[in-house]
Structure 1
Amino acid sequence: MISIILICVLGLLAVVTHLGVVAVERRYPASGQAIKIEGANINLVDIGPRDGAEPPLLLIHGASSNLDAMRRPLGDLLARYHRVLLVDRPGHGWSERDRLEDSTPAIQARMLEDVLQRLGVDSVILVVHSWSGALGTRMALDFPHRVAGLVMLAPVAYPWRGGVGRYNEAVATPLIGPLLANTITLPLGLLLAKAAARGVFLPQPMPDDFLDQTATPLLLRPREFAANARDLATLKQAVREQAPRYGEIKIPVTIIAGDADRTVFTDIHSRPFARAVPQTRLIVRPDLGHMVQNAVPELVIEEVDRMIAGMRLANALPTGP
């Protein structure tokens, strides 16, 4: 009798999840263009002027989000004077990946390199947040000809103590994961999303319309939540493997982080990276939390412009002995 009741409850939750996915996708439809590459179909938004001589800016979001988390307000502000490319990482937002296992920075770096090749873009300045700190550094390591500069916001770069949350670890497992993702994740997530997002913003307040403006409920769809959980579960080993190579990075790097970030600790990630890559410009703001692009977008824009000005100066200088 108990098993029958459990099956009925799970069936009802699965129906609720299916209906919820339909409603969420109608509320937040796809924008941009779809670019088909090997292993994925990538959603990309291309905004801003295209007549500049400097490389375009490629903005890449972190975990539990999509390209709108980098577009509003930062991407839209940058696009006033620069060409800005925004992507949904493979498996996130409206980008689909063929295999759930394609979760590591190395694999996703290869996918984004394919996207840039399809677009005919020679090189970009990367602006990356959180999880994608590992992705940006991997692109700089594996495809140095594609990356002219790297601006990292509260980046992940090194292994850390602890895990990525028991629920994410459970969803990343082969058997229980699909069951959780297709039954309780969406209804439970809708109840908890606002509180969870507020915690990431601390000590800054979260804008009242943040979840809606950034299409965050898309995360709660089963396929995306499973991809996100897998990305998080495999990240520690990925940065453990690539961290010894950071000294190979020769491009200009700027890091903006906060000493109040309790999601990605600056002392574990940003400061050691700046020691490993000597040309890094490290800016640590007091009382700044994890959502750098929302809290201090003007500072990010200033540092992007500083990097571009430095590139222009370097290119103008004559070469010699």
Structure 2
Amino acid sequence: MTGACLAGLALLAVTGCAVDQQASKREARAEAAYPPTGQLLQVDGRQVHADIRGSGPDLVLLHGASGNSRDFTFDLVERLQDRYRVISFDRPGLGWTDDLGPRTDNPIAQAELLRQAAAQLDVRNPIVLGHSYGGAVAMGWALRDPGDTAAVVLLAGATYPWPGDLGNWYPFITSPVGKAAAVPLITAYAPESRVQDAIAGIFAPNPVPPGYADYVGAGLTLRRDSFINNAQQVDGLKPYVTAMAPRYPRLSMPIEIVHGDRDTTVGLDYHSRRMVQDLPNARLTVLPGVGHMPHHADPAAVVSAIDRAAARAGLR
């Protein structure tokens, strides 16, 4: 091996070590800045984070991709805790909940882990709310335990297969090269401005609420393992909802759906309008001018949908 080759290998090793050290520092800072807000449960040897507030009928909240339970505790939970016991979970592989190994991308497996955690909290006959990707997990929860699921509330839920694919980004991130090279660089050096732009893109065309970016803890999602887990979940979702969708008509519990007509992340027609066509027990509220974050853009409409679900289920 030539001296030039040896020097190149040494440079790569030093560079990789520097990136790893910087990534570890940023991960540690994120975890210190955004600690768990609730309880850490142990379920089959895995940690599950649950934020529990209020009293009343049980209401389970399941966040979307790239998120954690802080998305709900920022504002929505305060609007509900006077009349519900609100349990906001971090989904597997995100926030402070451990991943599921090779089953991390399976929304039904995610639902099963969280149902076991809910059983430890003596959750009974809950309303299960899912936002975006969490909508698939909410439907997985209902499919696995329809007899003990009072109602489902979907906020821009990703619940059906969609035409086309999601592009090359997620397959690249989940590839060996992406995991080994791109993700550590993103964790180590992603500028704060890009994080802010990404959050703004998720909320568009609606504004990001003041204080949200500082509260939600995007740095938790930028951790290497969480970043990969999220990409695997998003990239692998379509086959699961393809298999789940034909089973939805078996569900008879009330289903309330809230979806913005300006949502460019989860298509209103492909998901929510299709569900109300397939399920007579599903009711859809379309919010004009609202994008992918209806619980922030119009929280009153979301609270009303939850209250309707509770009333239809005989809980209130």
Q: Normalising by structure 2, what TM-score?
A: 0.92
**In structure 1, C-alpha distance between the alignment counterparts of 2:298 and 2:89, rounded to whole Å:** 21
Distance verdict in 2 for CA 1:28–1:165, change over 3 Å: farther
8 A contact 1:100–1:230 mirrored in 2? no
8 A contact 2:257–2:305 mirrored in 1? no
Distance verdict in 2 for CA 1:186–1:159, change over 3 Å: farther
Q: What residue in structure 2 maps to residue 94 of structure 1?
A: 96
| 1:296 aligned partner, one-letter code | D
Q: What residue in structure 2 maps to residue 18 of structure 1?
A: 24
8 A contact 1:56–1:124 mirrored in 2? yes
**Once the 2 structures are TM-superposed, how far is the Cα of residue 3 of structure 1 from its aligned partner?**
4.3
Distance verdict in 2 for CA 1:184–1:300, change over 3 Å: closer
Say which of 204, 212, 218 aligns to 2:206: 204
Map 1:55-204; keep pairs closer than 5 Å.
55-174=57-176, 176-188=178-190, 190-204=192-206
**In structure 2, C-alpha distance between the alignment counterparts of 1:112 and 1:155, rounded to whole Å:** 18
Q: Deviations over 1:220-275 (max 9, x none)?
A: 01111111111111101111111111111110000000111001110111100111
8 A contact 2:59–2:129 mirrored in 1? yes
| 2:97 aligned partner, one-letter code | S
Secondary structure of the corresponding residue to residue 257 of structure 1: strand
Distance verdict in 2 for CA 1:179–1:157, change over 3 Å: same
Q: What residue in structure 1 maps to residue 298 of structure 2?
A: 296
**How high is the sequence identity, in percent, across the aligned residues?**
32
User: Structure 1 regions of 5+ residues with no counterpart?
Assistant: 316-321
Q: What residue in structure 1 maps to residue 281 of structure 2?
A: 279
Q: What residue in structure 2 maps to residue 267 of structure 1?
A: 269
Secondary structure of the corresponding residue to residue 123 of structure 2: coil
Query: Which range moves more in the overlay, 277-286 or 161-170?
Result: 161-170
Q: Deviations over 1:97-152 (max 9, x none)?
A: 25154221111111112112222222210111000111111111111123110110
Secondary structure of the corresponding residue to residue 242 of structure 1: helix
| 1:13 aligned partner, one-letter code | V
Q: Deviations over 1:3-59 (max 9, x none)?
A: 44343333211111011111111111122111111263100011012xx3xx31001
Pair 1:215 & 2:206 matched? no
Query: Which range moves more in the overlay, 213-222 or 170-179?
Result: 170-179
**In structure 1, C-alpha distance between the alignment counterparts of 2:256 and 2:287, rounded to whole Å:** 13
8 A contact 1:152–1:256 mirrored in 2? yes
Query: Which range moves more in the overlay, 250-259 or 74-83?
Result: 74-83
8 A contact 1:100–1:227 mirrored in 2? no
**In structure 2, C-alpha distance between the alignment counterparts of 1:73 and 1:188, rounded to whole Å:** 27
**Once the 2 structures are TM-superposed, how far is the Cα of residue 165 of structure 1 from its aligned partner?**
4.9
**In structure 2, C-alpha distance between the alignment counterparts of 1:131 and 1:233, rounded to whole Å:** 11
8 A contact 1:39–1:97 mirrored in 2? no
User: Structure 2 regions of 5+ residues with no counterpart?
Assistant: 1-6
Secondary structure of the corresponding residue to residue 182 of structure 1: helix
Q: What residue in structure 2 maps to residue 318 of structure 1?
A: none
**In structure 1, C-alpha distance between the alignment counterparts of 2:299 and 2:155, rounded to whole Å:** 11
8 A contact 1:39–1:98 mirrored in 2? no
Pair 1:46 & 2:52 matched? yes
Cα RMSD (Å) of the superposition?
1.9
**In structure 2, C-alpha distance between the alignment counterparts of 1:93 and 1:164, rounded to whole Å:** 24
| 1:202 aligned partner, one-letter code | A
Secondary structure of the corresponding residue to residue 85 of structure 1: strand
